[in-house]
Amino acid sequence: MKKSCVLFIIIISIFHSFIAKAQWTTIGSNIYYNLGNVGIGTTTPTQPLSVFGTIQSTNSGTFASINGISYSNTAYQGSRIGLTRYRGVLGTPLAVQTGDLLGWMDCYGYDGTTANRAGECGFIVDATPTAGVTPARFYISTAGSDGVTHERMRITSQGYVGINTINTFGYQFAVNGSAIATSMTVKLYGNWPDYVFRKDYQLPTLDAVKNYIDLNHHLPEIPSEQQIAKHGLNLGDMDKLLVQKTEELTLYLIEKDKQLKEEQSKVAEQEDKLAAQQEQINLMKQQIAAIEKQLIKK
């Protein structure tokens, strides 16, 4: 009886092994399976390969990589890496919340003793999710000389961009530090100040400008030192104001040039009159001299 049981177990094992092996096909040193999904750490794989746990790619002498290869004639269907975040537990998912890290990528470097984080980038929920929408910001962090990872850039779900700052203060682009550009164009929504040259423009008198300067210690419409210190400098608005003041100054110069020419014309006219009077005086002197000679002869 014992021998029959042992023989039955051996037959079942061989049969099971044969069935299991028959599901896999070998070609040379390669082995493949094409009858369904494969699960590692899970009994319910949903993809050709489903892994419950961590996947690690290791290589020696060259780089380790994870490659996605896509063949598609549809524009947006390229290779991708998908990162999905749920709250709750497997089988009982819950919605993510503001501040939840959805997914990130780390880069480490070995310092001779241990591998240290050199930088990371990822996505964090930055507003309350609603049906069909999970607002998130993107961030990039790098390790500084202090060994601490600092956020260097973020792009919010509203499209605000911050460099070396986590608060853009409502500006579309904010930089905490210096910046340089070979070219920059500031396009204003308001009118460019060529209206200064229109005939209906009320050019302030110089006396009014002087009184304003004496009272406020800065030009009219130009922000004061205190305003710049508090709110910063708007390049577009300031360029517009500087052009306006330059055009106003041009009008002042044109008016003064007109007045100067009028004065010069009056001076030239007076000089002509004086020259004519001088000629008359000289003629009268000559006549007087001639009369005096005649009187002396008599």
- Per-residue pLDDT, averaged over 35-48, amounts to 88
Q: Is the pLDDT of residue 3 over 60?
A: no
At residue 63, the pLDDT reads: 87
Strands 136-143 and 149-155: antiparallel
- pLDDT-derived band at 147, boundaries 50, 70, 90: confident
At residue 22, the pLDDT reads: 55
Longest dimension (CA), the chain: 189
Mean pLDDT, the chain, rounded, equals: 87
How many other C-beta atoms lie within 10 A of the C-beta of residue 143?
17
At residue 192, the pLDDT reads: 82
pLDDT tens-place string over residues 226-283: 999 988 888 888 888 999 999 999 999 999 999 999 999 999 999 999 999 999 999 9
Opening angle at CA 19, ends 17 and 25, nearest 5: 100
At residue 21, the pLDDT reads: 52
At residue 296, the pLDDT reads: 80
Helix residue spans in the chain (DSSP H):
2-22, 206-216, 225-231, 235-297
At residue 48, the pLDDT reads: 87
Opening angle at CA 275, ends 270 and 279, nearest 5: 145
- Per-residue pLDDT, averaged over 177-184, amounts to 89
Q: What percent of the chain has pLDDT over 90?
A: 57
Opening angle at CA 23, ends 18 and 24, nearest 5: 100
At residue 298, the pLDDT reads: 66
Cα dihedral across residues 180, 185, 187, 191: positive or negative: positive
- Per-residue pLDDT, averaged over 184-205, amounts to 84
- pLDDT-derived band at 18, boundaries 50, 70, 90: very low
**Cβ contact 121:102 at 8 Å:** no
Strand partners, 49: 38
Q: Is the pLDDT of residue 188 over 60?
A: yes
* Spatial distance between the Cα atoms of 17 and 22, rounded to a whole number of angstroms: 8
Distances in Å between the alpha carbon of 68 and those of 45, 72, 77, 151, 222? 20, 13, 12, 29, 57
At residue 8, the pLDDT reads: 47
